[in-house]
């Protein structure tokens, strides 16, 4: 079971996870990704930073939401998403962040990763994300791939095939909504709206 908690991105647990994430990204892409993240962006309105804690209280992963600037005011951007290898925290974190995005009133979640980071792209594909046109500073950058999911539609899994130049997604659920695999346990500040409470299985 995981507990998903809202914490400050400068908290010790967050910093430890950032260090692991940076090392992992640098090994895959040559960049630790810190240039694309500002902690102040996830402290403002309609933003959050979550840490997933394992049953023994150890931090297992993290992720954040921040609003994209107009005209995409209905879109949240996913940032600093990371799960410790073997922890199983990634799916729990992503679902928690999506539910928080809905509570904030967003209609979609977008993100960017590097094409070479095939494990990350495949993870998002399995959770209903599809390739979208590169947005903002990622426009025209061939090494970047942008993905998005419409929160108003049921999540549908996709398979992912890459030849390092093109990305191919195919629905694998026969067009039917995918059943949720777990519920969630949240520790949120009283001022933070949330949709559901419960415990992970």
pLDDT of residue 172: 35
Which carries the bigger pLDDT value, residue 149 or residue 167?
Answer: 149
What number is the average pLDDT over the span 16-35? 91
pLDDT tens profile 169-192 = 333 333 333 322 223 333 333 333
- Burial group, residue 106, by CB count within 10 angstroms (0-12, 13-18, 19+): buried
Q: At residue 21, does pLDDT exceed 60? A: yes
* 25 to 22, 69, 157: CA distances (angstroms): 5, 26, 25
Domains of the chain in sequence order? 3-187 (3.40.630.30)
Which carries the bigger pLDDT value, residue 201 or residue 120?
Answer: 120
Residue pair 195/103 in contact by the 8 Å Cβ criterion: yes
pLDDT of residue 73: 73
Chain position carrying tokens 């949330």 = 194
pLDDT tens profile 127-138 = 999 999 999 999
Q: At residue 201, does pLDDT exceed 70? A: no
Rounded CA-CA distance 93/4 in Å is 7
pLDDT tens profile 46-86 = 999 999 999 999 999 999 999 997 766 799 999 999 999 99
Rounded CA-CA distance 169/96 in Å is 24
pLDDT of residue 155: 65
Rounded CA-CA distance 55/136 in Å is 39
pTM score of the predicted model: 0.77
Which carries the bigger pLDDT value, residue 38 or residue 194?
Answer: 38
Q: How confident is the model at residue 154 (pLDDT cuts 50, 70, 90)?
A: confident
Alpha helices in 105-154 (DSSP H): 118-126
Per the prediction, the chain carries an average pLDDT of 80
């Amino acid at each position: 079971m995981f507990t998903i908690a809202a914490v400050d991105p400068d908290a010790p647990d967050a910093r430890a996870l950032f260090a692991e994430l940076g090392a992992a990204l640098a090994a895959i892409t040559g960049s630790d990704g810190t240039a694309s993240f500002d902690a102040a962006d996830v402290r403002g309105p309609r933003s959050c930073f979550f840490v997933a804690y394992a049953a023994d209280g150890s931090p297992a992963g993290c992720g954040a939401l921040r609003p994209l600037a107009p005209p995409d005011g209905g879109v949240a951007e996913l940032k600093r998403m990371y799960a410790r290898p073997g922890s199983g925290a990634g799916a729990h974190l992503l679902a928690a962040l999506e539910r928080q995005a809905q509570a904030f009133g967003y209609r979609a979640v977008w993100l960017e990763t590097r094409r070479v980071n095939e494990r990350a792209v495949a993870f998002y594909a399995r959770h209903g994300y599809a390739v979208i046109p590169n947005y903002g500073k990622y426009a025209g950058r061939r090494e970047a791939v942008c993905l998005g999911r419409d929160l108003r539609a049921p999540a549908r899994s996709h398979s992912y095939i890459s030849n390092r130049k093109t990305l191919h997604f195919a629905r694998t659920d026969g067009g039917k909504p995918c059943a949720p695999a777990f519920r969630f346990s949240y520790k949120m500040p009283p001022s933070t709206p949330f949709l559901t409470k419960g415990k992970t299985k």
